[in-house]
Structure 1
Amino acid sequence: MTRRLGLNLLNTIQISKHQSAVQLSDFRCEWCLTTVSNSVSGFLCHHCETILRAPYPACSQCGELLNSAERRCQHCQQMPPAFDYTLAFLPYQAPVSYWLRQAKDRRRYEWLLRLGYWMARYPPAAINQVDAFAYVPSGWQKRLWRGFNPARIICEQLAAMHHKPIVHKALRRRGSTPQRGQQRQSRLLQARQQFASGQQALDGLHLLLIDDVLTTGATADATAALLKQQGASIVGVWALARTPPPGMPIPMPQHGCGLPESQA
């Protein structure tokens, strides 16, 4: 408990330092390397922010990209997930995918603060109707190696900026089988086996489930079902990034980029 409180305090201090430093001095845009005096994100120029946040048609329930005028994808029409809606801030492709891999695979904690701060500046329209936040728990092996849970770091950033409580013990993770590279059905099966209810009193709450990357929605489906079993009436998903379906990349204009050539 003492260690957890210490980590929470450290996270809060680091988040506050990042927010305070955003507009203190000029910086170079992380994508085009242009010198910038201020911006919404604090690490990108306005032009790059606009390009990366270009709107795209997506399913209102799961956030998957659509190539039609329908509001919901075929998956959600035929087998609706347990969560009620999805808010995906960015598409999961370069350079966003590169920055998140830096955070998760190379323990570059500062990238979560940068991206989380930018995400927090664009809250959902119904944020005032949300009672509390929850987050997808990491497996203990990944927490041990990284030293943090990416979804929790982002959740704490969002909660601090929007003055929302966090439900910390509503979800438990029983396993940590890697899902990267797995197909949709395999992910669904694994997700149902890996998570368990925390037995919290969530009666009638409107919860916003925070995650870093939403791929098939299997994890969000399994965890949202557990939150509703504990009494939550509405569960939305607020993800930093959404993976495009296979073979359907989001068109991204060519742009000067500070990424290594292999990652751009």
Structure 2
Amino acid sequence: MAIRQIQSILRAHPTSDGDGVKIQRVHGFENAAFSPFLMLDELKSDQAADYVGGFPPHPHRGIETLTYMLKGHFQHQDHMGNRGELKDGGAQWMSAGKGVIHSEMPVMTDGQLHGFQIWINLPARKKMQPAQYHDFQSDVIAEKQLSRNNLIRVIAGDLTIEGDTVTGPLQETGVPTTIADWQTTAGGQLNSCLNPDFQAMLYVYQGAIEIDGRTANAGELVILDAGEGLSVTATQDTGMLLLSGLPIHEPVVHYGPFVMNSIDEIEQAIHDYQTGTLTD
């Protein structure tokens, strides 16, 4: 079984979004090796001023988002009438499809916030489908204890580890994906099988990992090459997201909250939003 190696490492960079929320971002809108993922934002602060403004009502078209919280609460509301509170250890998935208008506002918990939002592309045939939303609290996230202080949490798709398949609660995504959170102390190992047709990335949010002698540190995203096996060792107490999915071999045109396949489609999305017909 071919073990995946490190193809490249990208460093997250500081930016802000919404009402001044400070985040660390890695994006790959023009990077085919990222597909089907588009962007990963890490939100981490113990200062309320860094995130208290949240993300007031805003539109999307052509993408899905997966938000996962380690610490802190976010309240979601959208034009469809959905209202959900994302709590510690939980996740929420939204498929914008043809259009959604939603807000994500923080609910204070001890002043701390640490979470992630992942943008996932939709294939052209699904970009104009009706919007959808589901949330998943911590108790339904699938977990497997690999060894003492070595835990994998599978949020989306299936992950095969040591002969066992761990199935996450999120299965109906626009393209097949596997998304998991690995938490371990120094010396912990993750050995798993990945779908060889999937592209895969690892985002280190705490500590450091080693793959075949190469190291990646907190705040770095590792793009892996092709293969079926994954073998990772934590060189420090570590937290890491695994993102794996079937690539979409289509043009990507991005403008703000809209991701489509052509400039004409972007202009139509802007027109629809300005005229109040984005969600019709």
- Is the pair's TM-score, using the shorter chain for normalization, greater than 0.5? no
TM-score w.r.t. structure 2 length?
0.27
Please identify which structure carries the higher strand content: 2
Please identify which structure carries the higher helix content: 1
TM-score w.r.t. structure 1 length?
0.28
